[in-house]
Amino acid sequence: MMTTEEWEEMPTDPDWEADLGYEMEELTVVRSSTDSQLIFLPEHESQLGEEEFIVIHSDSLCDLRR
């Protein structure tokens, strides 16, 4: 885990992998019956953990592949 000092030294727009240690994962998107909620699931069930979830408002969702 980063210290406060390390976090404050990060660039404003850090590289998600090199700077933050994130790895890109393929996710399956499941829509609720009302389409007002989305569930993001990893490719393999073994990758699903209690701390691995996303909670956002639908207005915050955008496709980064564009």
C-alpha to C-alpha distance for 38 and 16, rounded to whole angstroms: 23
Task: Choose the weakest-confidence range: 2-6, 42-46, 61-65.
Answer: 61-65
pLDDT of residue 54: 65
Using the predicted structure, report yes or no on whether residue 52 has a pLDDT greater than 70: no
Phi-psi category of 3—alpha, beta or left, where left has phi over 0 and alpha has psi -120 to 50?
A: beta
Q: Read off the pLDDT of residues 5-46 as tens digits, 9 standing for 90 and up.
A: 988 888 888 887 888 788 777 888 888 777 677 777 888 777
Phi-psi category of 21—alpha, beta or left, where left has phi over 0 and alpha has psi -120 to 50?
A: left
